[in-house]
Amino acid sequence: MPSPRRARPARATAAWAAVAVVGGCALGPGSADGYEARTLTDPVDEAASAVATGTLVVELAVRDRAFATVADTALLDAIGDAGGAQSTLAADVPRDPPLVAARHEAVVAVAQAVAALADARAWVNRTADRDAAEVLDALSSAADALDAAVARAERA
Amino acid sequence: MKRLVAVALGILTAIGGFVDIGDLVTNAVVGARFGMSLAWVVVVGVVGICLFAQMSGRVAAVSGRATFEVIRERLGPRAGGANLIASFAVTVLTLTAEIGGIALALQLASSVEPRLWIPFAGLAVWLVLWRVKFSVLENVTGLLGLTLVVFAVALAQLGPDWGALVDEAVRPSIPAQEPAPTYWYYAVALFGAAMTPYEVFFFSSGAREERWTTKDLATSRANVLVGFPLGGVLSLAIAGCAAVVLLPRQIDVTSLSQITLPVALAGGKLALALAILGIVAATFGAALETALSTGYTLAQFFGWSWGKFHRPAEAARFHTAMGVAVLVGTLVLLTNVDPIAMTEYSVVFSAVALPLTYLPILLVANDRQYMGEHVNGRFTNALGLVYLVVILAASLAAIPLMIASGAGQ
């Protein structure tokens, strides 16, 4: 049986650890409804960030200000981010009908973003049958669709 | 003249060696999300690392003992052992992030997937540690890391609204769309990135590697008090580039490639090439320093022969420890863990482990038995005590803030 004197530091450490965890949890978001909307808007924002990155990369490539390796890597990373957002949305099952409709719009918008980024990467690697203007248009349309999806999720 | 060259070289390597993957990623993430409203944390962190690096270098030069030798003597084997476990774990985590950073930087230059670069990066780090002299490995990577000054040049070329940037930096506020826990989480992360424990282990052990004595105290002071703040300016430039280019486009930084885009926008391919070279040098140099720090901490605590000034056969356990640490970091990265996420965790856990490193240094720097007439002056002690409070606050707040903010989500 451990002596009381030896048990005190271990008990104190355990108490502090519990305070740290509870303290962190206590500061977190509390509203269930707000949380549901955020489960839609967070991945859409992530996809929007990826599309914005893709747009910047294509603009740099058009102006010959970036190596093909950097452009390719940045677009691959952006595709990874948008793909991650797609997986998150696909796994989400909202309860309220307005959120269900918002989720469907978000899934479609993120899929459009993934396709636009993939086409941009193909263009950077000179394997696409599109030109720079078409690629930028596709990215712009994807960005608009994502904005609309966020607006709908926030209204839901 | 020779002394002047040595001082200049020391300052230049301190500037170039200041930035590592943690500074690169954290400053870019923060700049893209909060603008310059967390610049004050970089300033606080730089002053802190100057203070403690200068103290640890002075302790090593005067007492002839590096940090972990002092920790074991001063705290005893039990408390020192706990300190060793925590500091070693954080240093290995940082080493893993740095090797990942090397692979990501090489991907930028080659389009080859990072997982294919990781084994080569680990092998290269180990080979350099085994075969290359301490002064060469420190100076080459430090000087090549100076090319990161391209971020400062890029920021100037982007033609930002300097008034708005400076105003944001000197009158910081939490952006309306960001929760307070997230802001303070990134404040702790930036602080941890600026004051990672391995920097102190490396600086004090490096002082012993280079056989510093009291005659070298002025050089040590110049390296730290000139080199580190200028290195901090590079950190601010990285954040500034992200604030000017990525923030208006609502781009959240999740990859190393995004960090280089503002440089490409400002300076084209030449600037981009310099940035990639600088990132490779900075991450490679930091991987060497963190790997050396793993060897230093273990060897100094257990009383093994240590140091690059010994041949590998004369310090076999020291070299084996570093080799194992590099191998562990490499294997962890090969499990496909995200190096950027690993970097973000390493800087936060660095903040958690900070008090364990800095308290013993502060105690020894005040101990006349070790330091003689070179103990801390009143100003240094006052500042040291203020920083001890700041470090304790950051350490205690790090985990709750990580939970509350969802690791900055």
**Mutation to test the B interface, candidates A49, A81, A136, most B Cβ within 10 Å:** A49
Mean pLDDT value of segment B158-177: 93
* Maximum CA extent, chain B: 59
Residue B214: the pLDDT is 86
Query: What residues contact residue B44 under an 8 Å CB cut-off, 6+ apart?
Result: B191, B194, B390
Strand boundaries in B87-242, DSSP class E:
none
The fraction of chain B above a pLDDT of 90, given in percent, is 62
User: Which of the residues in chain A have pLDDT under 70?
Assistant: 1-35
Chain A residue with minimum CA distance to B32: A49
Note whether B106 contacts A: Cβ–Cβ < 8 A.
Answer: no
Mean pLDDT value of segment B338-347: 89
A82-97 pLDDT tens trace: 999 999 999 988 888 8
Contacts of B278 in chain A (CB under 8 A): none
Mean pLDDT value of segment B75-84: 86
B286-318 pLDDT tens trace: 999 999 999 999 999 999 999 988 888 899 999
CA B388 and chain centroid, separation: 19
Cα(B16)–Cα(B36) distance, rounded to whole angstroms? 22
The answer to whether B408 touches B182, Cβ cutoff 8 Å, is: yes
Residue A31: the pLDDT is 45
A27-39 pLDDT tens trace: 444 444 556 777 8
Whether the per-residue pLDDT at B79 is higher than 60: the answer is yes
Which of B70-74, B260-264, B344-348 is the least confident region? B70-74
Q: What is the ipTM of this complex?
A: 0.91
Residue A100: both structure tokens together = 């269900």
Contacts of B268 in chain A (CB under 8 A): 64-65
Whether the per-residue pLDDT at B52 is higher than 70: the answer is yes
Chain A (59-88) residues lying within 8 Å, Cβ to Cβ, of chain B:
60, 64-70, 72-74, 77-78, 80-81
Whether the per-residue pLDDT at B400 is higher than 50: the answer is yes
| pTM across the whole model | 0.90
Residue A28: the pLDDT is 46
Residue A29: the pLDDT is 45
Residue B117: the pLDDT is 97
Mean pLDDT value of segment B129-142: 88
Whether the per-residue pLDDT at B17 is higher than 80: the answer is no
